[in-house]
Amino acid sequence: MERDPSEQWGLHRGVPTLRHGHHLQLLEGSLHLFPAMITAIDAARAEVLLETYIFDFTGSAADVAHALERAARRGVAVRVVVDGFGTPELPPPRRLRLEAAGVQWLAYSPPGRLGMLLPGQWRRLHRKLCVVDGEVGFCGGINILDDFHDPNHGALNSPRLDFAIRVVGPLVGEMRTTMVRQLARIDAMGRLKRAHWMGALELWRAVDMPHTPAPHVPSHGEPDAMAALLLRDNLRFRVGIERAYLRAIGGAREEIIIANAYFVPGGRLRRALVRAAERGVKVSLLLQGRYEYFMQYYAARPVFGALLQAGCEIHEYAPSFLHAKVAVIDGHWATVGSSNLDPLSFLLAREANVVVDDRRFAGRLRERLLFAMEHRGQRMDAAGYARRSRWQRMKEAVARLAMRLAIIVQGKRYK
């Protein structure tokens, strides 16, 4: 019997077992996510929890804010956590409006006067989660941000490419538990500033809060998909998402499709992709083709040479910004979430991905990615890549060095 390649790396440890009983829906962009979220929020009876890195109020994103206000006004407990760096402090009129409606708005780790100069401030809340009444959940890479708007670049001519997943089933309870823990930690940190020992005690209790599963909601005859929630934080869940990728890639037999916004894989992940291509697996990567941030854009490019040489296909998404963090392997394994394949996601940020083993769901995601590669991407030419200019190579070296220094300052190593 052939041995699973992932076993030699110890990749089964720390990767949750996928469970049956899930009804899953793939959502592409805010165009599909926001109406689905608003429908769920408008039907909420008791509770709405939402976490996001960016909460913007331009265009369709304002519709989500209005739905949260409506829910709070009719007595639903609405709690929103945003990242303190990704989402600037709210203007007073907006804050007063949310408070008047009864929305509880919390910021995770606001940077303060020194901003990102302090090493600890690089640990950001990058998850995008929403749970309504403990019965329906949403997870993905989509911020509360209109597809045609970018906070740094303004209006976009084409929509941002990103995905989310709507979930009904057992893992919704896990989503709610991790969000409640996060709320408790933020509250405890506030108490810590006021009374050190009491705050520390509350923080400890928040970390060790037991899991309370949500009631199982029948899927009404829809496919019984297998799924699991993968988290990355700096306490209990440090390597689960990376191990899940390595395990799936190591076991791939036919096809690997990855779409990732900030693709700077470490040595283990890079070697896993090269080995997969060398054993005959078709490896297709859909990556950022439009300049967004200097470090992430240029630090990725030195990796491309080894992948192209091994026979991997690299397609650069051209019409707009690529923000997806998804993958499909062998037509049945898939993941949708917030985690990039780079050191900031794997070592520092709080991330959340849903992993699925279901041919119907994986097939829908695969179709969307193949369409994007064929009609919206530009395939990278290996010869053209090898001929890139000295100026291009210098920018790549500077970006790579900056990323390495950022990781070293955090006391981390990226393998």
Write the pLDDT tens digit of every residue in 66-81: 999 999 999 999 999 9
The residues with which 166 forms a beta bridge, in sequence order, are 25, 138
330 a catalytic residue: yes
Asked whether the predicted pLDDT for residue 6 surpasses 60, the reply is no
Please compute the mean of the pLDDT values over residues 49-77 and round it to a whole number.
97
Asked whether the predicted pLDDT for residue 266 surpasses 80, the reply is yes
CA angle 223, 24, 61 (to 5 degrees): 155
Active-site entry in 22, 149, 315, 325: 325
Active-site entry in 330, 332, 357, 412: 330
The pLDDT mean for the chain works out to 88
Asked whether the predicted pLDDT for residue 332 surpasses 90, the reply is yes
415 a catalytic residue: no
Q: Please tell me the predicted confidence (pLDDT) of residue 193.
A: 61
For CA atoms 85, 298, 413, 355, give the dihedral sign: positive
Q: For residues 234 and 383, which has the higher predicted lDDT (pLDDT)?
A: 383
342 a catalytic residue: no
128 a catalytic residue: yes
Query: 68-77, 113-122, 135-144, 370-379: which range is least confident on average?
Result: 113-122
| Displacement of CA 203 from its chain's centroid (Å) | 25
Write the pLDDT tens digit of every residue in 179-194: 999 998 887 776 666 5
Active-site entry in 23, 162, 323, 342: 323
- Per-residue DSSP letters for 101-119? HT-EEEEES---TTGGGSG
User: What token pair was written down for 413?
Assistant: 């190593």
Q: Please tell me the predicted confidence (pLDDT) of residue 215.
A: 42
> How many CB atoms are closer than 10 A to CB 270?
16
Active-site entry in 22, 23, 128, 149: 128
Active-site entry in 126, 147, 342, 358: 126
Write the pLDDT tens digit of every residue in 267-322: 999 999 999 999 999 999 999 998 888 888 999 999 999 999 999 999 999 899 99
Residue 81 backbone phi and psi in degrees, to 5: -120, 125
In the chain the domains, ranked by start, together with CATH numbers, are: 17-207 (3.30.870.10), 229-409 (3.30.870.10)
Asked whether the predicted pLDDT for residue 211 surpasses 60, the reply is no
240-250 and 267-278 helices, crossing angle to 10°: 10
Active-site entry in 133, 162, 342, 358: 133
Task: Report how many helices (DSSP H) and strands (DSSP E) the chain contains, helices first.
Answer: 13, 17
